[in-house]
Each structure stands twice: as C-alpha cells, then as structure tokens.
Structure 1
Amino acid sequence: MTSWKDELADLDIDGLIAKITTYNPNANPELLMAAFEYGGQMHFGQYRHSGDPYYTHPFEVAEILADMQLDDATIVTAFLHDTIEDTGSTYAEVSEKFGKEIAELVDGVTKLTNLQLSSSETKQAENFRKLFMAMSKDMRVILVKLADRLHNMRTIKAMRPDKQVQKSRETMDIYAPLAGRMGMQWMREELEDLAFHVLNPEGRSSIMRRFLRLQKESGDVIEKITSDIRHELSEAGIKAEAFGRAKKPYSIWRKMQEKDQSFSRLSDTYGFRVITKNEADCYRVLGVIHQRWRAIPGRFKDYISQPKSNGYRSIHTTVSGRDGKRVEVQIRTREMHEVAETGVAAHWSYRDGIRVENPFAVDPAKWIASLNERFEAADDHDEFLEHVKLEMYQDQVFCFTPKGEVVKLPRGATPLDFAYAIHTRIGDSCVGAKVDGIRVPLWTRIKNGQSVEIMTAEGQSPQATWIDIVQTGRAKAAIRKSLRSEDRDRFIRLGRELARVAFEHVGRKSTDKALATAANQLRLKDTDELLARLGSAELQARDVVQTLYPESVGEVDEIDRDTAVSGLEAGQDFDRANCCQPVPGERIVGITYRGKGVMVHTIDCDALAEMDEDTSRWVDLHWHSGKHPAIHTVSILLTISNDAGVLGRICTLIGEQKANISDLNFLDRKPDFYRLIVDVDLRDIEHLHAIMVALEADSDVAAVRRHRDISRKP
C-alpha cells in the first residue's frame, strides 16, 4: 500500500535544499525538510486534474520561489500554502509547528486563493481592496500566490476547457499586469503567453509559424547580432555581457494590434541586453552601439536617470542592425538587471551567499502603501477599481515643475493631472497651464521631459467637464469629491424633485424607504448620496426607478435627430464629424465651419489639436438625455478567424444587439485571419459598449476596437 512517504520519494527535495543553501548558506535545511514532509503528509491521497499526486504542485511552487532566491519563510509557505484550505491542517497547528510568521503567510495566501477575482465589477473592486491589504501586510504573500498561479498556468491543459478560459482571462487581466507592476517582467511575459495560448491559440500559432519562417529566411539572427555587439564592445575595451532573445508571442501580438502593423513590418521582434559592471559603462556602451548602428529617432529611453516607480532602471535604444532589421538594445548594470528580472523580489535576494540590500530595489511595501493611501479617498467601489487599474496598467511619463522637480504621471495625463499630483488645492484652483512656456488647453497630453506650470486663481472650483479630461484616479476622485460637496444641499433638493417626477411617471412614489433601498442596490452610502448624484447628473433618475421597478420602465419617445444636441444657436445646423464619430453619451464640442454649420467632435478627437489657437470657432455642446434612435454610425475594427461561418456569426451577433450593419470593408485577408472595418448604426455609447463586449466574448474574435480615422476630418 502506498504511503505519503512513497509519494514524496519522486520529488527531489535534496536537490531543492542544495539549491537554496547555495545562494543562502544560512538557510535552515531541517525547517525546509520538516515543512516538505508535513505538507506531503497533509495532502496525501489528493490528486490534481492531471492525475499526479497533489503535492507535486506545492513542490513546484517552492522550486519557482527558490529560482527567485527567496528566503526560507517564503519557500516553507510554498510547501504549506494549500494545507489550511484543502486539508485537516489549521492555522494554530501551522503556527505551533513552524512559527507565527509562516502561519500568517500561509493564512494570507489562503485568503487570496478564496477571492473570486473574475467576478462582477463591484465584487472585483472589493476583492482588489482585500488583495492589496494582504499585500501591504507582507509582500511575500503575493509572491507565493504569483508562483502558485504560474505553475497552475503551466499545467492548465489538464483542466476543463471552460475553467481554462476563466483562469486564463483572470491571469491576463489581473495576475500578469500585477507581476509587471511589481517589476517581475519575466513572470508577466510567461503568464501572458500561457494565457494567450488558451485564449487565442490560432493567433499564437500564427506568430510561431512566422517566426520559424523568418528563421529559415535569415538564419540565426540572434547569434549574429549578439556576436556583432560583443565584437564592438571588445574593440572599445568595455567588459560586459551581451545576449539576445526572441520576444514572447503575446508581446508580439499585442504590438501588432497596438501599432496596427503586420508581422513583417514589426521592428522589435528581438531584444538584446548588455550587462555592464557600473553605471558609467552603460553610457559608454550606448555610445558604442550608436557609433556602430544608426539609432531610430524617438525610440530612446533613459530609465537610469529617470527610474520607473517599481525600481526598474535601464537604457533602451532601438537601432537599425544587420540587413536593416530594427532591434531593441537594453543596457544596465548587474544590480539593475537583478531588479529588472525579479522586481520587488530583489528586496529578499542574496548575492555570494549573503543577504544584501540592492540599492535599486524598491521598498516592497512602498508602492502598495501609496496605493492604499490613495484608495482611502475613493468614495465608492467603481472609483476604487479605477484607481487600481490606473496604477497597474498605465505606463508613465516624467515631467518637471518650473523648479525642476520630477513628477511621474500615467501616459496620456494632462496638466490637470499634474496639478492634482502636486496638491489637491492646486488642482481645484487651476485656471490654466503652460507647457514648456507655452499656454495650452487643459486637455493637452503631456509628453516625456516637458516642463509644466500651473496657473491658479482664488475662487476657482473644479468643473464637471474635468472628469473627462483627467486620467489619474487621484484627480478624478478629488474632482468628484469637490463637485459633490459644492452646493450639495442644492443637488440634494434638485435630486429629490427629479426622483419624485421619475417615480410618478411610472405610477410610484419616491418614499424615503424606496430611495434608501435604491441607494443600497446601487452601492451608495445613503439616500443623500443618491439624491446628490441625481442632482449633479452623475446618475439618471430613470436608472434609479429601473433599479427598483425594472418592469415599469417602458418605451419612451425617441429624441429627434435635429434636436439631439443642445448648445446650438437658433437655426444653426450640425453634423457628426467623420474622424471621431461621436455618439450620444460622449463628451462633445462643436467647431464652426463656413458653409457647413457646426461639426460635432468628441472632446478627445485628434483633429481638435489644429484648432487650439482658434477658440472663436469652438461651441460648447451636449447631447440631450433620453432615448436616441439607432442612426449614429460608428466604425469597429475587427480581427477574426478565417473559418467557415465566422463572418456570418459575427454579423448575427451584431444584429442580436439590435444594431444595423451599414458597411463592411476588408483591410487584410490572410490564410488564418481577416481584418475588417464594420460600420454599425448605434443609439448611444452604451449601445456601442454592449456590442464591443459581445464581440470580444466570441472565441473567433482575436481583437476588437473602435476605429477612428483622422484623415476623414472635415
């Protein structure tokens, strides 16, 4: 009869302990062995979907963490991370056998495992809050959880197909970006690629086939270019390591979508790294690279002088290499490389058998603490989730105050974001901005290296339109808070009247109990909060009624096309701009054209940049609230599988959303996929969102996004 010891015999615990003691001579082999045996005993008789003994999983998680050179407590936690949840073990027992520190870590991982992070938006926000709270107590909890997810993704093929898709989507949406935000880029790339393999196997296969074809045509490009770099460094007398690699399939696929380029035109399918002895050599290597190969303008980034917030430092440059192929070269020191590879995990790393403090490793709890501090200002779940996503998913730009101080902001940030990053008071009283000494509109996108000066005035307060201009969660939260507090009583009175009329319209009364119930359903603090949002137009009275009495909200008269927009002068005609195709529900602005009346643009339309100086032509416009007819054409860019029946099913899917297809235009026909633009007639922005979600959910749709064409400007 098989015993738990027999199951453990196939696992090389001696080899794992030897690996750990190599980088950490002060490790405790007895503690590691005791945890290994206790975990194996607790999980005895349990099996994975693949049929393997369950304990192979905790062991592999420990292997991943040992490769990251983490401490004993983290690796012991890996051995035990499922014991409290899945076996007869308890917190008290783990604490008694292995100490309170390890028991707390195991308990933290157990709590994270029980979070359903792929549930509804509101639930997801609550879970994110718990996730970050757990991380703020001890960052090692999330390191174990990430290693746990990595091994589960490596073995995901043993799961049911629907579970594979669910776990892969969760990995792509949450765990991969989180690993990247923590600086663990290698783990982010592997998690993304494993999830990509499940979510879009055809897309990944097409990338791999093209890679193989490219290798046949041009030989081993990586070896050739690496050899060239080493030769140039040797000639210059610089001692440094150089190596190259092919980018991961998902990374290439994402760049193809973002840049709207085919594989053959994509420049950076290969990446090369040069590891130097000191910082000065980094810049010497940069000079050697640029002397030997032509630098590509606009593709140089110096993250050594301006590090990322997760501690990442490196010089990035793209050059035209062999046969004109563009290649990216990253240059960094050994210590910078350790942080680039392991991110916050570098805080626990060892070098030459001694635990050392890497000067470039970010404090593992600092950015979590800063997130938690900002989240305290979030008044509801949606704002909290918005903060999380902005912090995790946005790249950064670095700009300067007039005194030369550096301010980090997410890409796409505006002078208003800059003002709120300095201080809420500065943001609230902002009346204008100068970028590099030139007066600019408040919706201008700030670029790397620009100097920003904010002009303020007493008595100024945030405008409702600012919500659509700013990008950062901090600015959005401050503006919303100010808007809600300013004239709050007036908003509450107005909201109460709006609620009364809306309820009477369906034969109901807006009693205090009804309003309190609606506030609870909408996850708002109390009735006053509900009424204030009604009065400030952040919430529609019709939505409040529908929350309580969905069957009572019947059909309403459609708004006539000629009266859909407010803000026009009597007799003034308007038309939608073809470049941005605005739809009801979006923030809009009008531009007057001689002989054409007023052309309506979305507030973020690129065509507006040409009219920055000519403000006399600008007209402040708004869509009338209510039901609009489905006559507003929007172009959607789709990448779909080239299979029988796929296009017909996509058209049916759009029809099921009660939308009409007015035109189809094929951009690219490949053996494995089609790229096409579909023109769809819609009611409003919510109608568009519903269609985009339905399309994105289809397994044969590889990519879907709204298509805007600046060349079609008036």
Structure 2
Amino acid sequence: MSLTPADSTLSVAPNNRAVPDRSASKVTTNKSPASTPAPAPGVASVTQLTNKLAEYLTPSELKKIKEAYRFSDEAHLGQMRMSGEPYISHPIAVAEICADWKLDAQAIMAALLHDVMEDQDVRKDELIERFGAPVANIVDGLSKLEKLEFQSQIEAQAENFRKMLLAMARDVRVILIKLADRLHNMRTLGSMSAVKKRRIARETMEVYVPIAHRLGLNNIYRELQDLAFSHLYPMRYKTLGKAVKAARGNRREVVSKILESVNKTLEATGIPAQVYGREKTLYGIYTKMLNKRLSFSQVLDIYGFRVVVDSFANCYVALGTLHALFKPMPGKFKDYIAIPKLNGYQSLHTTLIGPYGTPVEFQIRTQDMHRVAESGVAAHWLYKDDEGSLNDLQQRTHAWLQSLLDIQKQTGDSAEFLEHVKVDLFPDSVYVFTPKSKIIALPRGATALDFAYTIHTDVGDQTIAVKINLEQVPLRTELRNGDIVEIITSPSSRPNPNWLGFVRTGKARSAIRHHLRTINLVESIDLGRKLLGQALSALNLNPDLSPAVTERLLNESSAKSLDDLYADIGVGKRMAALVARHILGMLENDTPSPHPLLDVNGEVVNKQIDPVVIYGSEGVAVQLAPCCQPIPGDAIIGQMKRDQGLTIHTLECDVARRQRSKEPDRWIGVTWGAGINRRFDCGITLLARNEKGILARVAAEIGESDANITHVGMDEDKEHMITYLHFTVQVEDRVHLARLMRNLRAIPGVTRLLRHKGTS
C-alpha cells in the first residue's frame, strides 16, 4: 500500500498544488492567446487521455470528445491553477479517471466540460446545441448554484448537494464524474490553508466517502478516506505512516510465508486462484485503534489477503482449504456471497491464525465479484458485455437513487434533505427478513419502525405494533441480523411526533416530518401565528403586519406565504423571537421612528412576554413531555423542537433543566388556560409492604377517587419485603391528583408515595 496520496494519472508540471475551492484556486488572466503563458514541459496533455479512450471508443466518439476538449480549452483559456499550470489540466485529469472506469463518450465529454457553466457562464442551451441534452444535463447537475443568494454557507452547501444528488438520481454518471473531480482535487490539495484543508477534507469524509462506498467504488472509497485523513489529522497520518513502514519490514517474512503456503495448498487442491497480499489503509488502521482503544503494536491484522478463484463453487472449496491450513478465529466469518452488502459487494470473509499467532484476514471471491468489488456501479460501463451478472447491483442502486427522489418530495428544505441522505449513507448494515423470507438491508441501529417505512411509506404511517421473531416488541426496538419482522397496521393509525426520536433511516424521518407538516398544518399555523404575535408585542410592534412588511419579510425569509412562515414557527423550524427581531430591523431601516430602549450591550430591552396559553387539546402541535407528564396546575415551560412543535415540561423537570442549559433560546413561557375539560396522564409510584391483596386495595381506591388506570407495573424487593407499584393514572388537574394521593396514603400497608417528575 502506498503511504502517500496516489499521483494523478496525468503527466503534470512539478510541484502541482491545485486546490478544489474554486474561489481561491483559480487565477484568470486576459483571455487573449498572446497573454497566456506557454505551457511548461510536462504540463497536462490530452494525448494520454486520447490513448486510453482509443482502447474502447469508436473513432466517431473520439471525434466528439476532441471537440468537447477544444471547447473546454477555449472556455478556460487564460484561467490558471494556483500551481501556475493551465486550468484545463484539471478537467483532463477528471476525464482520465473516468476513462479508467471505461465510462461512455457522453460521460467523458461531460467530465471535460464540467466547469464551463459554473466558471465561464456558458449557457446550458449552448451545450445542448453543441453536444446534446444528455451531456448538458450532466454538466448542469455538476454545476453549483452560485448565482443564487443564500442566508449562510451551510445553506448554500446543502442546496448544491441537493441539486447534485437529485441529478445523480436521474443519471448516476453525475456522481461518478463528481467523485473523479473530488479525487483529483484531494490529490492536489497541498497549497490550501490549514483551515480550508480541514473543511474540504471533512466534507469529503462526511459525504463523498460514504457515497463512494454506497456505490461500491472501493478503490476511490479507500483513497479518499486516506487523503481526507491526511489533511484532517496530518501529524497522526505521518506518525502512523512511519510506524507501518517500520512494521512492514518486520512482517515481510510472515507475509511471504503465508503467500507461499496458501499458493501451494490451493494448487495441490486443484483450485485455479490468484492470491494477493494487501496492506490495510492508514485510515482503516487508525479507526480500528480508535474504536477498540488499541495501540499500534496491538493491531496485528495490518495485512490481509485476497483470493480470486474461477467459480462460485470454488469460493467455498477455497474457504475449506484455508480453514484446513490455518485455524479460523471463532465468530470471524462472514458470507457476503449469500447475502451481498447494500452496494452489491460479494465475498467470503474469514480471519485465520497465521504463523507466529498472527491474525490474518482473507477475502475469497470470483473474478466477477472482484470486478464489482473494486468498480461497483461503474462496472456497468466497464464490462458492458456481462450485464446479466450485474442486474442485482443495478437494481439495488436504482432503488437507492429512487429513495433520494422520495425523500426530496417529502423534505422541507435542503439542509433537512442533506441530513436524511447522510443518515442513509451510513455504511454499516443489518440484514433482516420479512415473514415471507425476503431479505431487507437497513443501517446499523435501525428500528422496527424503520423496517415498516422501508416496506412502504403507508405501512410505516399506519403501524400500530410489531412482532420480531413472533414476539411483540416496542416500535423503537433495534433490529439485529437475522430477525424476522412482522408489521401490524391499522388504517386509523397516524405517525406520532415522538417517533422522530428513535427512527434511524432518512426515508422514515422524512416521511414522518412530511406527515406532521401536512396533516397538522392548521394547528402549526395557529400556534406559529400566536407565538409571532406575542414576540412582536414584546418589541412594542403591531402583531398585524402590513402588506408591504409581509411582502418584504417573505422575500427575505424565502417563505412562500405567511402561512408557511407561521407553520415553520409552529413546528420549531424558525424561532418567533428571531423573526420578530428581523421585522424590527426592517422597520428601523425604513422609518426614522425612535429606537427602542437598549441595554448596555446594545440589545433591545424587551417587556415581559405574555406566556402562551395551552389547553392540552391543541393536537400534535403541542405535546406534553413524557418525562415529567405535566398536568393543569403545574408550573410549566415550553420547548420549541424542530419539526415537532411545542413540547410542555414542568418547571422542576430535570430533563428540561439540562436541555435549557444547552439551548436556552428554544424555551418560551406557557401557562394553562381556564375551563380545561379533559384528563391527563400522570405517573405515580407507591412503596407498600409485601402483603396479600395490596394491589387490589390500591386499584380500588384509585377507582373510587375518580381516576383511570392506563398502566400498572410491579417490582419486588424480597430482601426488605417491599413492593414497588408503578401506575400511570389519568387525572383532571393538580388538585385532583393531590386528593388521589391523600387517599392512597391512607391505605394500610402503603409506606411511601411519590409522583414521577422527569428525572430520567
């Protein structure tokens, strides 16, 4: 394994140090040919690219690619990389990486043109006229939305990712070219500042590395990981690189001995095979040290071996042969042939105890499996004559790309969309079965409810119960490999906002949020209008906005209508106080009216904001916190949760105290309204002597006190002869609860009684 970033396949000028942040990596000079410096010897040439393409493209396709090259060269004329070389060297390098995958002529043309719309203001219709709609659509999908105004860099980044990923869902070549672009930029990241290196490397690790893994592009996946690692933690990278280099010499004898033994044994068994020794990437070693808290000397399996055989059956024969040669480690065998990974990867994995007690990992696969393992979805272009064996991979990829479109339809904004996609890019997976034995792959940590939404959005929305291995379990139960999952639905069931606290997949999260936004829109609008009105009154502003102020507010907040703005406030996506301050700023800039009173820090001195009045019947826009279960009469406070509306806690709730210290701006004053006509859940625990009939006496007293029991549980302390009785009861208010608790304390045998107050 190379310990330094691999060189580009291009021939480039010495000390090439181009950077991907285009705002800082390009220098544009006068575009006249006379002012363009002559290229230095060794600067990128299209010759190598043409030679690679000639191996698999027709002369007519090569002619079109040369035309695209000339167009791109003219468009970027006078534009230089920070290394001093012509900018055209970057598109050529990207096209060469795509040529290594044997991508088609349209993709190569798009790779050469991928920056002309973004950097040189070339119009899409011009590209359509010159090179056709497919090429123009790919280039458009790769171009950033730099002409639009965004409120923050994070919002701009999220919207650009959404544009690219949706273009990828329509044509996967978009992301293949983008990955090639990012790979070349990461290889040439040297001249950036340390801050920008870390930002770009972190973005690469969080988004592009998982996408490469999800598409099965293992070579790019590993190289991007190591390159990002080298820029995120340069000292750790160098130190670990030196340690691996030193260990390589010490372990060469072990590797040679294993290779020799395996080759001889497989040959004697009559299995045609190629055996490769390979070294783990530095990032792979680093994560193993980090996750298992090991020192480098404790990481023994730095080396692995890949065995490529001629047939499916010989994979298992080779496995048995290796297990006879070296002892397998218990629990270290995985059959990814019978159950492929989400990205189509297939191999047998086993870890054996090699010479000198060293653990050694073996991967056993056929040539077809090896091709897919290294090239992933790009193998579709690389080996067009063998599409039959890749149908399953294509179907998996298509299903994932389709899920991006589904999430997009249900998502409110770009940041939320990117959040969902990142969740689904989590590489580790768990495999479960439907009652009809169909295999479903989900991210590690996915719950039974995630499974329901994976089957269909309607199934998830209508879920009321779930059985795992024939036993009924809570919806939040995490799934394990091999579980058989059965979903029980009801047409009258609807998503619960609390579900957002435990679902794992982007599809489930976006579907629940979409339902809460649409079905409960009226409730959210009413709550948002009330919250904004109170925030405006606190700043001595009229809650009734004029048409001129409304129009300007909607333009500056990117909201489609005032109701959309109210709904965003009602579900916690926008803070009423911040919107009110924004309106105040607009009015101050437009009118010479006296400024409001300011404190010593320049902040507006607010009058006391009237609390929001709640009645407990507002629907899902207002939720009563399950940790402390507030009831009328309790002193309460409200928390605005993103996409969950207003959650009510008691003032003395420990959970609320902890969360208020983290996000104090998301808490508002609330109070109970008059004339509430409903009952509220409340948790109580009784400590009683372990006597016969104690539960019956307590239950009878609760009934006589006009309270309902909705749940009961018991814990027994045999050593002290005490029983803990846990009840969830329904009461009208705090006065009703006090009367009930007074009656329960009077029962002979009850030694202590307390109410649950949110201490979990």
| Structure 1 letter corresponding to 2:543 | S
Of 103-112 and 372-381, deviating more is 103-112
- 1:281 is matched by which residue type in structure 2? N
Residue of 390, 399, 414 corresponding to 1:359: 390
- Whole-Å Cα distance in 1 between the matches of residues 377 and 194 of structure 2? 34
Query: 2:407 matched to 1:374?
Result: yes
Structure 1 residues 411, 173: CA separation in 2 closer, same or farther (over 3 Å shift)?
Answer: same
Deviations 1:130-164 (A, max 9, x none): 11232234322332222222122212213454543
Equivalent residue for 2:495?
462
Counterpart check, 1:141 vs 2:158: no
1:273 has 2:306 as partner: yes
Separation in structure 2 between the aligned mates of residue 375 and residue 516 of structure 1, nearest angstrom: 27
Instruction: Read off the aligned partner of 1:480 and give its amino acid letter.
Output: R
Contact 1:314 1:330 in 2 (8 A): yes
Taking a change above 3 Å as real, the CA distance of residues 499 and 166 of structure 1, as seen in their structure-2 partners, is closer
Going from structure 1 to structure 2, the CA distance change for 1:404 and 1:101 (only over 3 Å counts) comes to: closer
Aligned to 2:345: 312
Identify which of 184, 189, 205 aligns with 1:156.
Answer: 189
Q: What residue is the counterpart of 2:720 in the other structure? A: none
SS in 2 for 1:359: helix
Q: 2:109 aligns to what?
A: 76
Residue 264 (structure 1) aligned with residue 326 (structure 2): no
Q: 1:182 aligns with which of 188, 199, 215?
A: 215
For the structure 1 residues 5 and 184, does the alpha-carbon distance in structure 2 shift closer, same or farther, using more than 3 Å as the test? same
The one-letter code of the counterpart of 2:269 is A
Aligned counterparts of 2:299 and 2:687: Cα–Cα separation in 1 = 42
- Residue 3 of structure 1 and its aligned partner are, at CA, apart by 9.0
Question: In the superposition, relative to structure 1, how do residues 116 and 14 fare at CA in structure 2: closer, same or farther (>3 Å)?
Answer: farther
Aligned to 1:285: 318
The whole-number CA distance in structure 2 between the counterparts of 1:227 and 1:52 is: 47
1:308-354: CA deviation from partner (whole Å, max 9, x where unpaired): 33322223333333333333322222122212111221111137xx6
Question: Given the superposition, is the C-alpha separation of residues 591 and 174 from structure 1 closer, same or farther in structure 2, using an over 3 Å criterion?
Answer: farther
Does the CA-based 8 Å contact 2:43-2:89 persist in structure 1? no
The 1:383/1:41 distance shift into structure 2, 3 A limit, reads closer
The answer as to whether partners of 2:39 and 2:86 remain within 8 angstroms in 1 is: no
CA distance in 2, matches of 1:389, 1:42: 35
Query: How far did residue 389 of structure 1 move?
Result: 1.1
Unaligned runs of 5+ in 1: 558-562, 596-610, 621-713
Q: How does 1:444-483 map to 2 (within 5 A)?
A: 444-457=477-490, 459-483=492-516
Partner of 2:354 in structure 1? Answer: 321
Q: Distance in 1 between matches of 2:463 and 2:182?
A: 45
The Cα of 1:51 is off from its aligned counterpart by 2.1
In 2, Cα distance between equivalents of 1:118 and 1:227:
62
Instruction: Within 5 Å, give how 1:28-427 maps onto structure 2.
Output: 28-36=61-69, 39-40=72-73, 43-83=76-116, 85-86=118-119, 98-111=131-144, 120-266=153-299, 268-350=301-383, 358-359=389-390, 361-362=393-394, 366-427=399-460
SS in 2 for 1:407: strand
The change in CA–CA distance for 1:404 and 1:330 in structure 2 (over 3 A counts) is: same
Displacement of 1:202 in angstroms is 0.5
Instruction: Say if 2:601 is the partner of 1:566.
Output: no
Q: Is the 8 A contact 2:213 2:427 kept in 1?
A: no
* Residues 590 and 119 of structure 1, relative CA distance in 2, 3 Å threshold: farther
Q: Distance in 1 between the 2:394 and 2:231 partners? A: 33
Distance 1:542 1:573, change over 3 A: closer
1:528 counterpart residue number: 563
Q: Give 3-state SS (helix, strand or coil) of 1:300's partner.
A: strand
Query: Measured at CA, do residues 515 and 427 of structure 1 come closer, stay the same or move farther in structure 2, by a change above 3 Å?
Result: farther
Q: Distance in 2 between matches of 1:178 and 1:114?
A: 26
C-alpha distance in 1, partners of 2:141/2:330? 47
Return the offset for 1:291: 3.2
**Pair 510,276 (structure 1): closer, same or farther in 2 beyond 3 Å:** farther
Shift of 1:553: 7.3
Gaps of 5+ in 2: 1-33, 586-602, 610-624, 635-649, 664-681, 689-714, 716-722, 730-759
Q: Which amino acid aligns with 1:436?
A: N
2:316 match: secondary structure: helix
Q: Distance in 2 between matches of 1:499 and 1:410?
A: 39
C-alpha contact 2:217 2:373 (8 A) present in aligned 1: yes
1:473-519, Cα deviation, whole Å (9 max, x unpaired)? 22222323334455554454444444444443444443356788777
Give the match for residue 605 of structure 1. none
1-structure distance, mates of 2:607, 2:258: 66
Q: 1:359 is matched by which residue type in structure 2?
A: L
CA distance in 1, matches of 2:36, 2:577: 65
Tell me, in whole angstroms, the C-alpha distance in 2 between the residues paired with 1:487 and 1:191: 43
Match of 2:20 in 1: none
Task: Tell me which moved more, 464-473 or 105-114.
Answer: 105-114
Q: Judge conservation of contact 1:132–1:372 (CA < 8 Å) in 2.
A: no
| Alignment check: 8 A CA contact 1:169 1:195 kept | yes
Provide the secondary structure at the position in 2 that maps to 1:186: helix
Any idea what SS the aligned residue of 1:22 has?
A: coil
- CA drift of 1:452 comes to 1.2
Q: Could you say which residue in structure 1 is the equivalent of 2:465?
A: 432
> Is the contact between residue 380 and residue 523 of structure 1 (CA under 8 Å) also seen in structure 2?
no
Counterpart of 2:103 in 1: which secondary structure? coil
Deviations 1:73-109 (A, max 9, x none): 3233333434455569766666566555444444544
Are 1:58 and 1:81, in contact at CA under 8 Å, matched by a contact in 2?
A: yes
RMSD of aligned C-alpha atoms? 4.5
Partner AA of 2:349 in structure 1: H
Q: Helix, strand or coil for the counterpart of 2:482?
A: coil
Q: Distance in 2 between matches of 1:82 and 1:119?
A: 23
Question: Do 2:115 and 2:143's aligned partners in 1 also have CA atoms closer than 8 Å?
Answer: yes
Instruction: Work out whether residues 503 and 510 of structure 1, in 8 Å CA contact, stay in contact via their aligned partners in 2.
Output: yes
TM-score when scaled to structure 2? 0.67
Deviation readout 1:166-204 (Å, 9 max, x if unpaired): 433332233222222221121122122222222211010
Contact 1:240 1:275 in 2 (8 A): yes
Higher mean C-alpha deviation, range 324-333 or range 440-449? 324-333
Secondary structure (helix, strand or coil) at the match of 1:319 reads: strand
The residue matched to 2:86 in structure 1 has which SS? coil
Instruction: Tell me the distance in 2 between the aligned counterparts of 1:285 and 1:362.
Output: 28
Shift of the 470–95 alpha-carbon distance from structure 1 to 2, 3 Å rule, reads closer
Task: Choose from 13, 17, 21 the match for 2:54.
Answer: 21
Distance 1:297 1:453, change over 3 A: farther
Aligned residues: 593
Question: Which of 533, 537, 543 is equivalent to 1:504?
Answer: 537
Instruction: Give the match's secondary structure for 2:190.
Output: helix
Distance 1:520 1:437, change over 3 A: farther
Contact 1:4 1:40 in 2 (8 A): no
TM-score (normalised: structure 1): 0.71
Deviations along 1:661-693, one digit per CA (max 9) or x if unpaired, are xxxxxxxxxxxxxxxxxxxxxxxxxxxxxxxxx
Shift of the 50–447 alpha-carbon distance from structure 1 to 2, 3 Å rule, reads: same
CA distance in 2, matches of 1:56, 1:275: 37
Matched residues in 1 for 2:475 and 2:660: separation? 23
Is the Cα–Cα contact under 8 Å of residues 492 and 532 in structure 1 kept in the other structure? yes
Following superposition, the deviation at residue 215 of structure 1 comes to: 2.3
After alignment, is 221-230 or 3-12 more displaced?
Answer: 3-12
Kept in 1: contact 2:165–2:175 (CA 8 A):
no
Q: Which range moves more in the overlay, 490-499 or 67-76?
A: 490-499
Structure 1 Cα separation of the partners of residues 322 and 687 of structure 2: 53
Q: What's the secondary structure of 2:425's corresponding residue?
A: helix
One-letter code of the match for 1:383?
E
